[in-house]
Structure 1
Amino acid sequence: MPDADRPQELPARLLTDPEMINACRVRDFATIFRLMKTRAGIYPSMIARRCELTPSRVGEVIAGRRQLLQDVIERIADGLRIPGHMLGLARRPWETPQALVTTEREAPQQPDPEQQTPESLPSPDVDSILALATRTSLSTATLEAFHASIEDYWKRDNQHGGEALRPAIVGQLRYVVGLLKESRAPAIQNGLYGVAAELARLTGWTHFDARQYNQARTYFTEALQLAKEIDDRQFMANVLACMSLQATYQDKPADSLALVTAAQDQARSSLGTTPRVLSMLSMREAFAHATLGARDSTHRAIGEAHRHFGQVRASDADPSWVAYFDEPKLLVDTGIAHGRLGEAATAEPLIADALRREDRSNQRGRAFHSFWLARTQLDQGKLDQACHTATEALESASTVSSERVTGHLREFYDQLAPSRQEPVALAFEARLRALLPPVSGSPHP
Structure 2
Amino acid sequence: MDRRAVTRALAGTAISGAALLDPLEGWLRPAAVAPASHRRGRLGVRETEELESTARAFRAWDHRFGGGLRRKAVLGQLSEIAAHLDEHQAPQVERRLYEVMAQLAGTAATMAWDSGLQRRAQDYYLLALRASHAGGDKIFGANVLAGMARQMLYRDKPQDALELVRLAQEGARDVAGPRVRAMLHTREAWALSAMGRTAAFQRATAQATESLAAASPGEEPHWIA
Superposition TM-score, scaled by structure 1 size: 0.41
Q: Select 2:78's aligned residue among 173, 178, 183.
A: 173
Larger radius of gyration: 1
User: Which whole-Å deviations, capped at 9, do the CAs of 1:355-408 have from their partners, x for residues lacking one?
Assistant: xxxxxxxxxxxxxxxxxxxxxxxxxxxxxxxxxxxxxxxxxxxxxxxxxxxxxx
Match of 2:213 in 1: 310
For the residues of structure 2 that align with 1:285 and 1:150, how far apart are their CA atoms? 28
Correspondence for 2:162: 257
Cα distance in 2, alignment partners of residues 210 and 242 from structure 1: 16
How far residue 160 of structure 1 moved from its aligned partner, in angstroms, is 1.6
Instruction: Provide the rounded CA distance (Å) in 2 between the counterparts of 1:214 and 1:197.
Output: 18
Q: CA deviation at 1:136?
A: 8.1
Q: Matched residues in 1 for 2:64 and 2:109: separation?
A: 18
The equivalences for 1:133-212 within 5 A come to: 137-212=42-117
Aligned to 1:321: 223
Deviation, structure 1 residue 211: 2.9
Amino acid at match of 1:304: Q
Q: Distance in 2 between matches of 1:283 and 1:253?
A: 13
The residue type paired with residue 115 of structure 2 is A
- The aligned amino acid for 2:180 is V
- For 1:199 and 1:152, how far apart are their aligned partners in 2? 10
The C-alpha deviation readout for 1:251-294, integer Å capped at 9, x for no partner, is 11110110011111111043xx2111101111111111111121
> Separation in 2 of the partners of 1:263 and 1:248?
15
- Distance (whole Å) between structure 2 residues aligned to residue 288 and residue 310 of structure 1: 22
Deviation sequence 1:103-126 (CA, Å, 0-9, x none)? xxxxxxxxxxxxxxxxxxxxxxxx
Matched residue, 1:426: none
Gaps of 5+ in 2: 1-22, 24-38
Separation in structure 1 between the aligned mates of residue 42 and residue 188 of structure 2, nearest angstrom? 43
Q: Distance in 2 between matches of 1:194 and 1:155?
A: 17
Contact kept in structure 1, 2:41 and 2:88, CA below 8 Å: no
1:220 shift after superposition: 0.6
**8 Å contact 1:245–1:284 — kept in the other structure?**
yes
Q: Which runs of 5+ in 1 are unaligned?
A: 1-99, 101-131, 324-445
Equivalenced residues, count: 188
Distance 1:212 1:315, change over 3 A: closer
Q: Offset of 1:137 from its aligned partner? A: 3.0
Q: Distance in 1 between matches of 2:57 and 2:98?
A: 19
Structure 1 segments of 4+ aligned residues over 3 angstroms from their partners: none
Measured after TM superposition, the shift of residue 299 of structure 1 is: 1.3
The DSSP-based 3-state class of the residue aligned with 1:137 is coil
Matches of 1:269 and 1:165, distance apart in 2: 36
Q: Separation in 2 of the partners of 1:305 and 1:150?
A: 28
Which residue, out of 181, 190, 195, partners 1:287? Answer: 190
Q: Which has the higher contact order (CA 8 A, sep 6+)?
A: 2
For 1:205 and 1:232, how far apart are their aligned partners in 2? 19
| Distance in 1 separating the partners of 2:174 and 2:187 | 18
Q: How far apart in 1 are the matches of 2:65 and 2:218?
A: 32
* Whole-angstrom CA distance in 1 between matches of 2:152 and 2:66: 21
C-alpha distance in structure 1 between counterparts of 2:82 and 2:102, whole Å: 9
For the structure 1 residues 220 and 315, does the alpha-carbon distance in structure 2 shift closer, same or farther, using more than 3 Å as the test? closer
Secondary structure at the aligned position of 2:43 is classed as: coil
Distance in 2 between residues matched to 1:155 and 1:184, nearest whole Å = 28
1:315 Cα deviation after fit: 5.0
Q: Which residue among 173, 181, 184 is the counterpart of 1:278?
A: 181
Tell me the alpha carbon deviations over residues 301-333 of structure 1, each in whole angstroms, 9 at most, x when there is no partner. Answer: 1111110001001252x112212xxxxxxxxxx
Task: Please report the RMSD computed on the Cα atoms of aligned residues, expressed in angstroms.
Answer: 1.9
Identical amino acids, percent of aligned pairs:
34
- Counterparts of 1:265 and 1:136, CA distance in 2: 35
- Give me the whole-angstrom Cα distance separating, in 2, the residues matched to 1:215 and 1:192: 22
Structure 2 SS opposite 1:313:
coil
Q: Distance in 1 between matches of 2:97 and 2:51?
A: 9
Q: Distance in 2 between matches of 1:212 and 1:291?
A: 24
CA–CA distance in structure 1, aligned partners of residues 90 and 79 of structure 2: 20
Give the conservation status (yes or no) of the 8 Å contact 2:148–2:164: yes
